[in-house]
Structure 1
Amino acid sequence: MGSAKKILIVDDEEDLCLLMKIYFSRKQYDVSIANTLQEGLAKLESLQPDVLFLDNNLPDGLGWDYAPEILDKYPDLELHLISAFHPNIPQNVDRARLKIMEKPFTQKQLNELGY
């Protein structure tokens, strides 16, 4: 799948990750998963995905705190912040470059992303 768009899902809910991986893999995307913030940041660096789904409440930190840094470092990345809670949107970030998805989300909402 060398030319397939790469998606990275960083979330500690393993069932959600698996469901999203199945969904996007069926659409011919190359999908990787990380269940901790540090693992996710390492995979972000090594895989250079096109799309990142980033949970906020992770076992080793708050993913959304890294949104401004991630967007600065990866200007072509499509960033989707996901959370079951309503945390504050990161400050000092171009909000036009990120999308927020509230959990639980539906397959219809995934379809509407256009991937």
Structure 2
Amino acid sequence: MDDVNFKHLETHVKNGYYTILGNIPENDVYRLKLKFPSLGDGEIEVIWWGLKFENCFCVLDDKKANKSAKSMGLKVTGTIGILRILAEMGVISESEKRKLCVELIERGFRFPKEKCFE
């Protein structure tokens, strides 16, 4: 992340627009790792926080993590889903969404390309 974007994010955190979430209890991480041994720490944390918040989406691109979160009753979307939501909300334009999708593809992000251009 370049310095300009980081400063922008830092300002929003200071102003209370975003909250930095804390560490999750090790016992909870351990229990979720036993239940979902193939998931990484980040995916485990997303699922844990998803269980703590009401009416939220877990943003997970990994197929196993996605399936695991859904098995816990959580709503899930991926990076492309976030881009679609941002475009629907008018935060980014359709052309910006497509441009970001192309950039993701160029950087090796794997996903069904048709999802990006729907």
| Global fold match (TM > 0.5) | no
Give 1 or 2 for the bigger CA radius of gyration.
2
- Which structure has more helix as a fraction of its residues? 2
Compute the TM-score of the two structures, normalised by the length of structure 1: 0.33
